[in-house]
Structures are given as C-alpha cells and as structure tokens.
A and B are shown apart, each in its own frame.
Chain A
Amino acid sequence: MQLTGAEIVIRCLQEEGVEYLFGYPGGAVLNIYDELFKQEKVKHVLVRHEQGAVHAADGYSRSSTKVGVCLVTSGPGVTNAVTGIATAYMDSIPMVVLTGQVPTHAIGQDAFQECDTVGITRPCVKHNFLVKDVNDVALTIKKAFYLAATGRPGPVLVDIPKDVTQAKAEWSYPKTVSLRSYNPVTKGHSGQIKKAVQLLLDAKKPMVYAGGGVVLNNAAPQLTRLVRLLGFPCTNTLMGLGGFPGTDPQFTGMLGMHGTFESNMAMQNCDVLLAVGARFDDRVIGNPEHFFRSDRKIIHIDIDPSSISKRVKVDVPIVGYVADVLDEMLKLIETSPQRPDPAALKAWWGEIKEWQRKDCLRYDTKSELIKPQYVIQKLYELTKGDAFITSDVGQHQMWAAQYYKFDKPRRWINSGGLGTMGFGLPAAMGVQLVNPGATVVTVTGEASIQMCIQELSTCKQYHLPIKVINLNNRYMGMVRQWQEFFYGNRYAESYMDALPDFVKLAEAYGHVGIKVDKPGDVDGALAEAFKHKDRLVFVDVITDQTENVFPMVPGGKGLTEMILAEEL
C-alpha cells in the first residue's frame, strides 16, 4: 500500500501506541497535521509555545513509563523546542521529537523558517536523523523509538523535510530494529556483582546512594528490597526521590547541595558506598577532592559506562540495567548465609541518629510571614503524600524536594540536570493527561512560572485541573540567596518588580485564582484549592522574602562543609 510520508508518520505513531502528541503546527509540518486531522487514535495537544510541547511530552514520560512524543515545525519551532530537548537529555528522558524541515531542495538555501535542526540539536539529543527519502521514514521512526527507550534513555529527534511528507512510499512498519553500532550492555558482569555483594556484606558503615536511574529503570522495588534486607541507610538524589520510600525509617533524606546533614555526613563517612543509577554530579558530591579525603570503597551501577569513573574513581563498576543488576545482587544476598555485622551496623546507625538530631530541616514556625516550607508540608498532608508534584527551578524546587516525602517513584517531576525554569506547568500537563483523575500539583515561584505561563491557556482547553502553588517571594529566590551569601547582599536584578496580579491572571485564562498572605490562611486556601476537582486553581502564596534554603553546600565546597540554618 502506497502512503504519503505524512500518512506514514501518523501510522508509525499509531503503531507505537502513541496516545498524545504534543505540538504546534507550522508550514513544514502541515502535511503531517492534515493526516493527524483525518484520524482519532493519536490525540494532539496544542500547546502555546514549542518549549511547552517538549516539557509536556517530558512530564508525560516521567510520570508513566512511556516515550513522550512531540511535533514542531521547522526553524523557530525547533529553536523554541531546544530548551525542552536539552532538559530531557540532561535527565535521560525517553522522547521522540518530530520536526518539520524545509523541502530537501531548499535545504542550505537559507529558506524561510529553515534552520540546521540536526546541527543545532546534535549536542542535546541521544541521536538525531534527517530523513531525506520517504522510503526511510518508517524505519527511522522505529529506530527513534527504539533508541529513545533503550540503554540510557534520551530524546531522539527525527527531522522530516516537507517534500518527504508529500512523496509516497510502500507502507510497512518493522516489528523490531537493531543497529550494529548500538548495543548497550544491559546485563551486569556476574563477577563484579559478586564482588559488590561481598563488599556490602562486609561493610561496617555502608551507605546506599540512589539516583534517577532507579526511577527510569523502574528499579524502585528492587532497591527497596535490597536496602531493607541489608538494613542500610539510603539517600536519594534530587532525580531519585521516590526511588526509595521517603517515609521509610532507613531513608536519610535527599543528599547534595541542599541535602540533609545526615545524608551528606553519611556519604562522607561511610566505608562502602553503593551508588545506583546516579552520576556523582557537582550538585551531589560537591568538590570531588574533598569527597576523597575520606577513604571508602565505591560500587557503582549504571547503564552508561561513561557515567562511571567520570567525576570519581570507583572500585567496583557494574554496567547494566540497574533493575537487573539489583535483582542479581538480591539473589546472591538472599542465598548467602552472611549478613552485615549487626553490631557495626548498630554503631553506624547510632552515628547517623546523632547527625539527625541536628534537625537540619527545622525552620521558624512562629513567623508572621508565610514560610514556604510550611506550605509544602501542608501540601504533603493535604494530598496524603500521594500527588504528582512537578516543579520549576529554584528555592521552591528545593523546598518541595526536602519537605514532600515521596513514597513512590515517578511522582516527583523536576528538571534536575539542566535546571530549566518554566518546566513545571507544561510538564504537569503531560502528567495530568497520562494520569487522569490523579492529583497533579505544580510547585513554582513567581519568576519561574512566568517563563511558560502561556500554557495556562492549554490547561483550559484540555480541562487539566492542575493545582499551581506559587511560592511568591518577589525574588528569584535562589539567585537572591547566592547574592546574600556570596555577593555581599548586592541583589543584582534578582527582584521581581511589576508582577501581575496572579489571581486576575488565572481568572483571565478561565481558571480559579486564590491569594494568601497570612500564615493562618494557608491551610484553608490549600483545602479550598483541592475542592475544585475539575478546575485549575492557581494559589498565589505570598511568602517570606528572606527565607533561604538550608542546609547548603556552597559551590566548590566539600559535601560536609554545609551551611546550616542555625549558623547564620
């Protein structure tokens, strides 16, 4: 059967079981949109800016196990999408980005809405393709889905010139695909796994450090079983929250720049460190030289060999899917007669409990101003810890990560690697669409939300009852915090002047707006917001302008060189 390139594109998406396609039409993709119009299987979500389309596809993927898909036009459609693509790339999110391109004969002629899409996106995709022949469309899209979802996941872009979408080819969709140049090692080396298990069983002061890889590889059950079986303390990275239950007594809280005192101390002072699907990045271990002042054995499980021994040298590297490797480890531990030395473990927990007594997340609860931490705690209580929380980037993101306890993976949706302001609201749209009926909350700030606020319109069109909690401190809070600590209180351009009336703004978009400025009104306002089951509610919370995120490891410092609230 002969089909046009555009028909083939849509057929491919149907074959892949794509439910939602996030996009924005334009000249180069009109043929594809015309085919989209003629069918009902793949539902299109019209965003208001291409960045929103990519973030929505991203949130869709993060909160499910599916590949997010988006479609944008050539030129500005692509350049607008780049921030979203880079965001997904940094956090290894499986995604297929379809982009229109000017006709093949016009490529390189500086045609209207032409840009070198493959060139521009090359450094921020797992792989990309320019399809110049209609006969290659189906195979290329198949490859894109395969590459996006396997190995270390990531966004894959397929650039399709307009004439290719018009030309015809015989339709057939391959069931499977393989590339001779792409064979990720997925099964851990059994000798290395044995070595790792022995190290764990012999450990006196063990620590488990788990990252986004656990969430991405759906390895939370395995990790949880392993940690509980061994009785070890466990910390999660910002990307890993929910990979181990946040309310479990063995959970020591997030680690890193704004991690808990106990997690950071335990990372530094442990004798065996098990790193699972994490990459020792600068926000997590601080200065690597300082990190290595203490001696410890490190086991590192990751799907990406290049993540191993990149920033820190490890003793037992294991390349493979973390779920599979953890399964193997569990088998060995369960059949081993040996258990970690209970006396040593007890003493180690004693040390950790001592650190926990610092109560590093304590904050002033008697203030006459609304404390942002309190808002998150209330949010946690009201949603019974079971909401999907998306966030933007900055102080509010850290507070949400610190004070909302995630018991399940894929509930905490944030831009950890790239740190993209504007991510939260569009990501929440994808989350809500793939989890209809679930409580979806965007924790944001008045600076971040304005970077993609146009998506409030999309939320109206698709009836997405997201709850937006705007922690409004009239500052780019994290910038302000750094300026306070490291730039002598010179608040260069970090204030937010001429803010809109967010209540009116929300109402103008057809939503419900609520403003709170007194601590006593927070509970009521949040409760009211969640009463509106079918409406998007924008809660503008006027918070203490001077509140800072603690603990804090200043950039370039060692992990244990934390600034604590009490020290200021």
Chain B
Amino acid sequence: MRHILSILVENEAGALSRISGLFSARGYNIESLTVAPTEDVTMSRMTIVTVGSEDVVEQITKQLNKLVDVVKVVDLTEGNHIERELMLVKVRAAGKDREEMKRLADIFRGRILDVTDKSYTIELTGTGSKLDAFLTAIEPGVILETVRTGASGIGRGERILRV
C-alpha cells in the first residue's frame, strides 16, 4: 500500500543522506521524496511516498524515528490529508495540436507558463494520479519534457505536525 510519511528533521548537513541511506540500506522503497526548510529554519520538512505492507511501513517509521536527526514522523495516510504535487511539462504545440493542448491544459486547470511558436510549458498541480491522468490524456509523442516535484502532504483539519 502507498503511504505518505511526513518527517520533521534537523536542518543539518547530511540529514537527507541519513534518511535516503536508511531506505537503500534496508531495501525500502522511495516513490518520491521532497524536502525544504520550514518556517523554523532549524528544521526541514520532508515528504516521502513509499509503498509497502503495514509491517514494512511500521518498520520504516520506527527506523526513521531512531535516526538522531529525525524530530518527528507521521504517516499522513493514517488519517485525512491533502496531497499535492507540482509538474512542469513542456509539450509540442504546433498546428492543429496547439488549440487542443490549450483546451486540455484548461480542463486539468493547468497554467501555461511559457510559450514558443512550437511549444507550451504547462504548470499543473494536484495529486499524483491527476498528473498521471494528464500525461495519459495527451499523446505521448507531444511530450518534450516533464519534471515533477513528488508529493507534499499535510493533515486535514486540526491535525498538525510540529514540535
């Protein structure tokens, strides 16, 4: 099953490699990993999307908690949460495709950030599956380049992750 782990870590050099090293050393899966400092610059927040059985995810959580730089770990998928990912995609947009591409971007609430006479660069946010859906909706041949941030997540309602 897919799990989204939110992790508060000390903003120390090497904290990221401690975490990624843990995943590779113990054979855990990382689907995506995002990290940036929080409003408190001494701390970073990381979102890791992983896939594994309940037992494996329990071990991952325990192993993460054991790392000295890790302040807190929460499995967002245990409760209601919001998940967003940002994608930038450059597509071929010439001739008759140009109008169609614009329409499709609108349907997915994408924004066109950059335009040349042959291409569009579209910004899309949403859940990972929405971004996947956009990519499958357009013809594979027109995709020139994609870049995705990986998921970021936050708990719904009063659920708060902080120290």
Query: Which residues on B sit within 8 Å (CB–CB) of A178?
Result: none
**Residue A556 is within 8 A (CB to CB) of chain B in the complex:** no
Given that A130-B13, A181-B10, A181-B71 are known contacts, is A306 also in contact with B63, CB under 8 Å in the complex? yes
**Can you report 16 A-B residue pairs in the complex whose CB atoms are below 8 A from each other?**
A119-B17, A122-B18, A123-B21, A127-B68, A127-B69, A147-B68, A152-B66, A180-B71, A180-B163, A181-B9, A181-B10, A181-B69, A305-B62, A306-B62, A309-B59, A310-B59
Given that A126-B68, A180-B71, A181-B69 are known contacts, is A309 also in contact with B17, CB under 8 Å in the complex? no
Q: Which chain A residue has the least Cβ–Cβ distance from B60?
A: A306
**Residue A114 is within 8 A (CB to CB) of chain B in the complex:** no
CB within 8 Å of A: which B116-150 residues: none
**Which DSSP category, helix, strand, loop or mixed, fits chain A's interface?**
mixed
Q: Which chain B residue has the least Cβ–Cβ distance from A310?
A: B59
How many residue pairs between the two chains, A and B, have CB atoms under 8 Å in the bound complex? 40
Q: Which chain A residue has the least Cβ–Cβ distance from B65?
A: A305
Bound form: Cα–Cα A147–B65 in Å: 14
Interface centre among B9, B18, B55, B68 (most CB of A within 10 A): B68
Question: Are A306 and B25 touching (Cβ within 8 A)?
Answer: no
Question: Are B14 and A304 touching (Cβ within 8 A)?
Answer: no
CB within 8 Å of A: which B53-67 residues: 55, 58-59, 62-63, 65-66
Q: Which chain B residue has the least Cβ–Cβ distance from A308?
A: B62
**Residue A182 is within 8 A (CB to CB) of chain B in the complex:** yes
**Residue B91 is within 8 A (CB to CB) of chain A in the complex:** no
Bound form: Cα–Cα A309–B14 in Å: 29
- Select one of B25, B62, B68 contacting A182, CB under 8 A: B68
**Which DSSP category, helix, strand, loop or mixed, fits chain B's interface?**
helix
Given that A123-B21, A130-B13 are known contacts, is A306 also in contact with B66, CB under 8 Å in the complex? yes
In angstroms, how far is the closest chain B Cβ from the Cβ of A271? 24
Proximity bits, B32-70, A CB within 8 Å = 1, else 0: 000000000000000000000001001100110110111
- Extra contacts, 10 of them, besides A123-B21, A309-B58 (Cβ < 8 A), are A119-B14, A123-B25, A126-B68, A127-B68, A127-B69, A130-B13, A181-B70, A305-B62, A306-B63, A310-B59
Query: Which residues on B sit within 8 Å (CB–CB) of A305?
Result: 62, 65-66
Query: Which residues on A sit within 8 Å (CB–CB) of B9?
Result: 181
Bound form: Cα–Cα A160–B76 in Å: 39
Q: Which chain A residue has the least Cβ–Cβ distance from B72?
A: A181
**Residue A118 is within 8 A (CB to CB) of chain B in the complex:** yes
Question: Are B59 and A306 touching (Cβ within 8 A)?
Answer: yes
Bound form: Cα–Cα A127–B18 in Å: 9
